[in-house]
Chains A and B, each alone.
Chain A
């Protein structure tokens, strides 16, 4: 026990030195800029690799990984869950909140009825087919309506 007590200050000092060294090293790690330096055209599918041909400082991923192809838009959850700091360089948080919200007031496709070019869920009269889609792949419903944004679901699903 005494031996443990004598070792403890040494370990604490070593730990402290590691923390200090890590903090000092952090200052040498580059960060992303807080916003895109040039305006981007609203509504345009952006291909980052048109201008960027390498990893951007701070992303550590090639920018081809973030080109907004149709496939990227449909599967953006993978990218957002590991790198939403890069998303926020060009997109405000409200851009995400149009669909990802705790309590939705109206379908995003209604709010943006003048933008049929945008990829948005439940376009048209989805009520009729949701009974089929919900059985085919309920996990896709759960992602948005499982623990939030389900005020309209519980009106019928009691």
Chain B
């Protein structure tokens, strides 16, 4: 009886010691980073697509020896809504002890979660959220590799001037441009920047019409565009309103020379299927670098595609994985060169980056501004051609010529 208890006690102690030893051995060779995305709920599909890019970049890095000689372990946090994003950011920092948080896809969640990280002095490394206000808060440990809503607006106006006008052999100022957008933060931000850039460039804006995203009838809006004789329409929208616009425009017989979307609903295959391939053919769009981009301008794409297909056994569902892959590679390379994993050393290493355009996986250069925003990342000009979204602008990234709408 007595011997039994002693044996058990000794065994327990031994296993306890072993566990502590194993734990410390693991800690010595591992560094943890948080991966905060919406993994469930309405944004889950693109949240997961974004995560895949990060996962691929980390696996690649680990295969090459990790960062600062340590193996990277990703701890996932599910930012299903804003409250959850805050709670998960706190958990990652205080319970899991991550040295940096990568994310987030959703602008609203990035906005709130980055606040938690900043207060805890943990770098927040954004690779997908587009709202400009995220980097407008003078945070010291917040960085963003991807382009923003402002870049989207700038690119769309650039496309009107340098692609649409020449294709129709008219002067840009002779085009009658209408801006329509859903009236939440996303559409309003892009729409406002578009109006500003268009004015700067001397374009003729005939209508600027915000509408609620849950709109059930756009026929009156389309009648207004018809009355204004708009021949270029810039729309920033989600999926429902994109489908509604195309259906009702077709039904009303409204055929502008060019329609340029701003990501969102315009980038999704399901939108094209719901609208119809023939109706969507020739429609332009601005978004992150897509898979169908010339590798000369975005040198990482062939390698990324190969790795993606090998790991997931399918084609990427959107360009979000590529954007996160490119962003994560930029961050991990800099962290590897940092003196330690302290927030100040990581921030210093990131601020020292100076990569010219066209050299990272998605074609961006890297130079972080005071506010943490990458000043050398741009959106691409895309077009729906035969049911595929392909890059047509700028010319060095194009895989196909711009088509006129039939």
The answer to whether A and B assemble together is no
A residues in contact (CB < 8 Å) with B: none
